Structure 1
């Protein structure tokens, strides 16, 4: 039993009606492709992705994210683990995330499985929607990009309240390379941050942006030297603890002024799935070359 579990047990004795039926925090926050570490001093839950295959959002990783969000809300609501800050990073060297599961996409397109594409995309945006809203709790979400974020990986970053990126990391939406567009939030998030025209220009370009460029655009909120991203996140949390309530209220007000309904995100997914089924064999081969490149990257990291 960890020291934190002992503390939880003591808390349960003090508040038996609130937490007696709740499993220990350590028992709940266990996942196949996510590692978690709780800092009780700052009430921060640090989480790192460790994708089982390629550094992308495979369906099992998405399921881990659903459980992760459910566990967090239960722990916060019962008082078993007060969480004010939620940090997400990645253990894959040089990569935050390369986005969607291109292998799954190619298979679904070849078999004309429109439902599989929609199901995958809806699951993605449902996770991002809850993250954007801080799980509807007073939680500030922070993304830590110690490596590149492309496609859906970049879209995921856009759902966080705060993004800290290390210098030298790259970001982009390369979907136009194989005849698609980013369908899991890019249009919705970027249009609200940059305006519709600039968002469309960014998506159509298919180009890669540096962390420094995104900082100038306001999409990255802090730039860290290589290897110093985690220290910067920890410093940000310490420096802003007294302003936590104000920050949560500001993010809530921003959502009220410029709301983004889940239905809008899901409608774009539906358009994306329709477009995916119009891809040519040449488009699919380009997609599969990216899958092969991601696999080589994984194999290199494993050595």
Structure 2
């Protein structure tokens, strides 16, 4: 179960799939992809996946493809390490962002608007399916003996929030902002929000959070039960290490608890894909007024990125 290499996604091209065929030599970390990096902190038995997007920190197809590659590489790393040393290399997996103040701004709204105006329903479905295949793989910890965390140290909006929800735990700094603004342009978040939130906080609260369009602080969401561990601002990474240090001796119990949760209340890939198709169908019903509101959100994202000091952003992406 834990060392299967069947994770290579069908959504990747044949060339990408060939590049991920396990080689005889053990896979070495760190691994650098175009938009993220995977490294091992061996003393803490923790894999870190840091998003370093080349462009806008949203869920572009390029970032999602790198997520697929990273997931496949993680499985290969476990398999090769186990074959060489007879043990697993890590117990914890943490994903975070190198962009100051931003975890992820969500779906590629400019791409969505372009596809809707072109009446290209198939492209929206394809985008959503690629996204939820990665989301689902997160939600089952890549079928590996890992406890997974999202470390949110800035804005996690729309699809960025959905991505964080797909991990076993969310650790967030107190003033981080998380929310689902899709209702503002007459849409709903179609890539896991309802599935994961309804299981975390119940159907009624999940629907209230989705339909309000409000952006919440991590402190507010911690009180609601969405955020699992609240960190002080600037202390997110230290809080993750402290949590790991305090719980590592009972990893077996905590990991088995997560396996039981997935068994008792599973989020299936079929469920996620079905909701994507509802989302794509709803997107085709948007009018020009809705698309203009979507465009204003894109413009707001661009202003936000322009406000980041370019040298600082460049350094963060190195």
Query: Normalised by the size of structure 2, how large is the TM-score?
Result: 0.86
Structure 1 position 59 matched with structure 2 position 61: yes
C-alpha displacement of 1:20: 7.1
User: Partner residue of 1:104?
Assistant: 111
C-alpha displacement of 1:83: 2.3
User: Partner residue of 2:24?
Assistant: 21
User: Partner residue of 2:19?
Assistant: none
Matches within 5 A, 1:49-198: 49-79=51-81, 82-198=89-205
| Distance in 2, Cα, partners of 1:296 & 1:261 | 37
* Cα-Cα RMSD: 1.5
C-alpha displacement of 1:302: 4.5
| Distance in 2, Cα, partners of 1:247 & 1:133 | 14
| Distance in 2, Cα, partners of 1:20 & 1:269 | 35
After superposing on structure 2, the runs of 4+ consecutive aligned residues of structure 1 that deviate more than 4 Å are none
C-alpha displacement of 1:300: 2.3
Q: Secondary structure at the match of 1:88?
A: strand
Aligned residues: 284
C-alpha offsets along residues 142-181 of structure 1, whole Å, 9 cap, x if unaligned?
1101101111111111111111111111111100100100
- List gaps (5 residues or longer) in structure 1: 1-18
C-alpha displacement of 1:24: 3.6
C-alpha offsets along residues 59-104 of structure 1, whole Å, 9 cap, x if unaligned?
0000000000000001101216712111111111111111101111
Tell me which moved more, 233-242 or 293-302: 293-302
Choose the corresponding residue for 1:35, options 34, 37, 43. Answer: 37
| Distance in 2, Cα, partners of 1:45 & 1:70 | 14
User: Partner residue of 1:277?
Assistant: 284
C-alpha displacement of 1:299: 2.4
Query: Normalised by the size of structure 1, how large is the TM-score?
Result: 0.90
Choose the corresponding residue for 1:45, options 44, 47, 69. Answer: 47
Q: Secondary structure at the match of 1:26?
A: coil
C-alpha displacement of 1:22: 3.1
Equivalent pair of 1:43/1:84 in contact (CA under 8 Å)? yes
Choose the corresponding residue for 2:260, options 253, 264, 267. Answer: 253
| Distance in 2, Cα, partners of 1:216 & 1:178 | 28
Q: Secondary structure at the match of 2:286?
A: coil
| Distance in 1, Cα, partners of 2:114 & 2:25 | 41
